[in-house]
């Protein structure tokens, strides 16, 4: 697995695709204006004189909620002046909506959207405490006068006992370097670090809420200063851990055994169920120095810091005991902006919560756009899209723009779909209806959200941009002008 650096090529392509999409949409805006009749409202659709609000009762994190609305040519409900928000709340309540829903903020938008990254990273799943499950880090550890260990972790809140997140043992000292934690009575996970057998106090670091959290622990030999960070904030620190007394000012020894998920009572073994870890872990990295707060923030957003890295998850040389599950799941890297606005429909109040939480949301359509979308979709099934789906032997583009799920299209899937699209468009045999154009534009929007994660994908990226340009060109051709004019207001 290759680590994902933000690459200049990627940013350029993303810019290119973004501009193309905008051109495409501007083009549609230039065409004729159409009106259409009302198609009636579904239960979750609230229509006012100029707007349509669609309540989506599928809890998603902020980023996916935002993309869901965007891909339907709408916008996540905006933070409005109090009085307007109150009337929207009232409308929602009159339709039996009582929950909290996401709000979009104009200013935060770009920051959130761009810095939020969805990665596919191998996650290690330690289901339940056992005396057998372990993962050994196959790295050669040097002498460490300073150290930082960071990882993303999902704590199993059903276990009460102390869990060992990792233990590093050397022949001279079994408890050379460790991180342990447990859930306290208030529902906080408390961490303590151990260096040369000396224990820091257990201090609360994050809530045991079943969500992913990021942590870093640092220690330096010089004055024994240690620190624990959680979700980008320093939660605890002090000086003097092992700085005095024999063995004063001793660096962490080299050539040790680093085990994730178990306390070692002998070098590399003698595990106890009671002290084992239960939960999920990914992106564990070890550096031979103390990272700054700013660097920790970057690591947390899944940017790699190479300097003095001893073990990186990207190189992924681990010995994994077979009952430890390895899942490759899309993982949402926390962005530097972690709080998102929420409207409590019940009270009409606005507050902030972690953008990672899953909440229902409301998509806001301009009414004419909404009616036009509905009209376009109500006509016969789109021939171009049907043909592409037949070619691909799967529903790669939904026939109805309202029916697709929020999808994280990956680059190889996108190349395949664009390839099928160009094939069909080049044939010029399949008629292109307005609903086809909407489906294609919606798909291109998804493609412009594609993230490149691995080096070898760069070639595919080139292919992707070629197809993208070709599809854009083909569907903009003269003969489709009538179809474009029919969907002119969708922008
Ligand atoms: C379409 O009509 C609306 C009013 O019905 C008007 O505000 C808008 O500017 C028109 N758009 C175009 C492209 O003519
Ligand atoms: C994990 O523990 C729970 C409760 O302690 C038990 O119900 C479940 O079967 C265990 N799962 C496995 C895979 O052992
Ligand atoms: C760990 O991940 C697995 C698979 O995604 C999931 O089923 C499980 O609930 C997660 N465990 C915790 C403690 O969140
Ligand atoms: C424990 O985690 C689950 C999800 O894994 C979550 O639904 C639940 O609220 C958490 N319990 C507490 C007390 O935070
Ligand atoms: C410990 O040493 C580091 C590095 O020299 C220094 O930046 C830090 O201020 C010291 N901390 C204390 C508490 O003395
Ligand atoms: C399409 O899918 C069907 C069933 O999933 C399968 O039997 C068939 O071989 C597939 N055709 C192609 C061309 O992949
Ligand atoms: C890309 O997405 C397709 C369809 O969603 C999936 O079958 C495929 O495994 C994915 N490929 C990678 C490399 O994730």
For 286-309, what is the mean pLDDT?
A: 86
Residue of 154, 326, 329 to mutate, ligand 3, most atoms within 8 A of C-beta: 154
Q: Which ligand is nearest to the CA of 394?
A: 6
> What average pLDDT does range 470-486 have in this prediction?
70
Q: What is the pLDDT of residue 211?
A: 85
Mean pLDDT of 348-352: 85
Q: Is residue 457 predicted with pLDDT exceeding 70?
A: no
CA of 33 to the centre of ligand 1 (A): 6
Using DSSP's 3-state secondary structure scheme, residue 450 falls into coil
| CA of 486 relative to ligand 4 center, distance in Å | 49
Q: Which two tokens stand for residue 170?
A: 């050397």
Task: Give the residue with greater pLDDT, 188 vs 29.
Answer: 188
Residue 39, CB-side half-sphere exposure with 13 Å CA sphere? 18
Range of weakest confidence among 43-47, 145-149, 320-324: 43-47
Question: Higher-confidence residue: 28 or 353?
Answer: 353
Among protein residues, the one with the nearest Cα to ligand 4's atom 7 is 210
Residue 8: pLDDT band (50, 70, 90) is: very low
Q: How confident is the model at residue 32 (pLDDT cuts 50, 70, 90)?
A: very low
Residue showing tokens 């084992």 = 276
Task: Kindly provide the b/e burial profile for residues 193-232, where b requires at least 16 CB atoms within 10 angstroms of the residue's own CB.
Answer: bbbbebebebebbbbbeeebbbbbbbbbbeebbbbbbbbb
For residue 245, the model assigns a pLDDT of 52
Please give the number of the atom of ligand 4 that sits closest to the Cα of 207. 14
Backbone angles phi, psi at 210, to 5 degrees: 80, -5
| Pocket residue to mutate for ligand 7, from 412, 420, 446, 449, most atoms within 8 A of Cβ | 412
- 294 CA to middle of ligand 1, Å? 48
Q: Residue 210 Cα, ligand 4 centroid: separation in angstroms?
A: 5
CB of residue 327 inside a 6 A radius of ligand 3? yes
Measure Cα distances from 318 to 2, 258, 277, 404, 420 in Å: 15, 10, 17, 38, 40
Q: What residues contact 393, with CB distance under 8 A and at least 6 apart?
A: none
Q: What is the pLDDT of residues 376-420, one digit of tens each?
A: 777 778 888 899 888 888 888 888 878 776 666 777 888 888 888
State whether the beta carbon of 36 lies less than 6 angstroms from ligand 4: no
Q: Please say whether the beta carbons of 238 and 199 come within 8 A.
A: no
**Any ligand 3 atom below 6 A from CB of 44:** no
Indicate which atom in ligand 7 lies nearest the CA of residue 412.
1
Q: How far is the CA of 54 from the centre of ligand 5 (A)?
A: 55
For residue 315, the CA-to-ligand 7 centroid distance in Å is 22
pLDDT at 454: 53
The whole-angstrom separation of Cα 177 and Cα 82 is 53
Task: Find out whether the beta carbon of 323 lies less than 6 Å from any atom of ligand 5.
Answer: no
Measured distance CA(259)–CA(214) in Å, rounded = 19
In the predicted model, what is the mean pLDDT of the chain?
A: 79
Q: Which atom of ligand 7 is nearest to the CA of 328?
A: 14
Residue 251 and residue 264: Cα distance in Å, rounded? Answer: 20
pLDDT at residue 240 is higher than 90? no
Within 92-202, strands assigned E span 100-102, 117-126, 135-137, 146-155, 163-170, 173-183, 188-195, 198-199
Is the pLDDT at 150 greater than 90? The verdict is: yes
* 453 Cβ closer than 6 Å to some ligand 3 atom: no
* CA atoms in the 13 A half-sphere facing the CB of 436: 24
User: Which pLDDT band holds residue 2 (cuts at 50, 70, 90)?
Assistant: very low
pLDDT at 28: 37
Q: Which residue has the tokens 């996970």?
A: 189
The Å distance, Cα 393 to ligand 6 centre, comes to 6
Ligand 4 neighbour 187 (Cβ under 6 A): yes
- Atom 8 (ligand 1): residue with closest C-alpha? 33
CB half-sphere exposure, 233, CA atoms < 13 A: 7
CA of residue 206 to ligand 2 center, whole Å: 24
Helix, strand, coil percentages in the chain from 3-state DSSP, rounded to 5 = 30, 30, 40
pLDDT at position 22:
45
Residue 50 pLDDT more than 90? no
Q: Each residue of 56-73: pLDDT tens digit?
A: 888 888 888 888 888 888
Q: Which atom of ligand 3 is nearest to the CA of 279?
A: 13
Report the range of poorest mean pLDDT among 209-223, 256-270, 291-305.
Answer: 291-305
Ligand 2 center from residue 37 Cα (angstroms): 56
Instruction: Give the Cα separation of 254 and 350 in Å (integer).
Output: 53
Nearest CA to ligand 7 atom 8: 413
Centroid of ligand 5 to alpha carbon of 224 (angstroms): 9
Question: What is the distance in A from the centroid of ligand 7 to the CA of 202?
Answer: 42
pLDDT score, position 114: 45
* Shortest-distance atom of ligand 7 to CA 407: 5
For residue 30, is pLDDT > 60?
A: no
Q: Which domains does the chain have, with CATH numbers?
A: 1-30+379-491 (no CATH), 40-114+340-370 (3.10.100.10), 118-332 (2.60.120.200)
Closest ligand 7 atom to 120 CA: 14
Query: Which ligand 7 atom minimizes the distance to the CA of 411?
Result: 1
128 pocket-lining for ligand 2 (C-beta < 6 Å) = yes
Let me know: does 131 contact 272? Beta carbons within 8 Å: yes
C-alpha 260/C-alpha 124 separation (Å) is: 10
pLDDT recorded at residue 255: 92
Q: How far is the CA of 452 from the centre of ligand 7 (A)?
A: 13
Lowest mean pLDDT among 208-217, 333-342, 410-419, 462-471: 333-342
Q: Which ligand is nearest to the CA of 396?
A: 7
User: Percent of the chain having pLDDT more than 70?
Assistant: 79
């Amino acid at each position: 697995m290759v680590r994902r650096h933000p690459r200049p090529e990627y940013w350029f392509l993303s810019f290119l695709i973004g501009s193309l999409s905008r051109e495409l949409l501007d083009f549609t805006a230039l065409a004729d204006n159409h009106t259409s009749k009302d198609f009636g409202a579904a239960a979750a659709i609230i229509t006012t004189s100029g707007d349509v609000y669609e309540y989506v009762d599928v809890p998603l994190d902020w980023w996916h909620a935002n993309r869901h609305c965007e891909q339907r040519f709408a916008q996540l409900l905006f933070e409005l002046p109090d009085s307007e928000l109150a009337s929207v709340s009232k409308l929602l309540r009159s339709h039996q909506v009582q929950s909290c829903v996401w709000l979009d903020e104009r200013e935060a938008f770009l920051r959130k959207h761009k810095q939020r990254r969805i990665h596919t990273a191998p996650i290690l799943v330690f289901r339940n405490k056992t005396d057998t499950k372990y993962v050994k880090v196959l790295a050669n550890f040097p002498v460490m006068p300073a150290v930082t260990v960071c990882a993303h972790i999902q704590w199993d809140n059903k276990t009460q006992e102390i869990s060992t997140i990792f233990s590093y043992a050397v022949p001279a000292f079994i408890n050379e370097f460790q991180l342990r934690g447990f859930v306290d009575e208030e529902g906080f996970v408390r961490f303590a670090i151990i260096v040369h057998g000396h224990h820091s106090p257990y201090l609360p670091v994050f809530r045991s809420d079943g969500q992913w959290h990021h942590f870093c622990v640092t220690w330096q030999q010089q004055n024994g200063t240690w620190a624990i960070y959680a979700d980008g904030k320093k939660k605890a620190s002090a000086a003097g851990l092992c700085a005095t007394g024999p063995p004063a000012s001793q660096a962490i020894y080299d050539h040790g055994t680093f085990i994730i998920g178990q306390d070692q009572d002998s070098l590399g073994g003698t595990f106890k169920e009671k002290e084992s870890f239960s939960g999920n872990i990914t992106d564990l990295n070890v550096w031979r120095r103390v990272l700054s707060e700013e660097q920790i923030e970057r690591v947390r957003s899944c940017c790699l810091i190479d300097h003095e890295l001893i073990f990186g998850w990207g190189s992924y040389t681990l010995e994994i005991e077979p009952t430890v599950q390895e899942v490759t799941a899309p993982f949402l890297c926390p962005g530097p902006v972690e709080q998102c606005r929420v409207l409590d429909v019940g009270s009409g109040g606005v507050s902030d919560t972690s953008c990672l939480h899953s909440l229902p949301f409301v998509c806001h359509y301009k009414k004419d756009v909404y009616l036009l979308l509905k009209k376009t979709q109500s006509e016969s099934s789109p021939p171009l899209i049907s043909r592409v789906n037949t070619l691909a032997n799967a529903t790669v583009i939904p026939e109805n723009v309202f029916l697709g799920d929020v999808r994280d299209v990956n680059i190889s899937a996108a190349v395949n779909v664009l390839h099928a699209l160009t094939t069909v468009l080049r044939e010029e045999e399949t008629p292109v209806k307005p609903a086809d154009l909407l489906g294609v534009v919606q798909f291109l929007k998804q493609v412009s959200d594609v993230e490149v994660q691995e080096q070898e994908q760069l070639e595919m990226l080139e292919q992707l941009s070629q197809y993208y340009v070709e599809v854009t060109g083909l569907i903009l051709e003269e003969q489709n002008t009538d179809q474009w004019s029919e969907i002119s207001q969708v922008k």
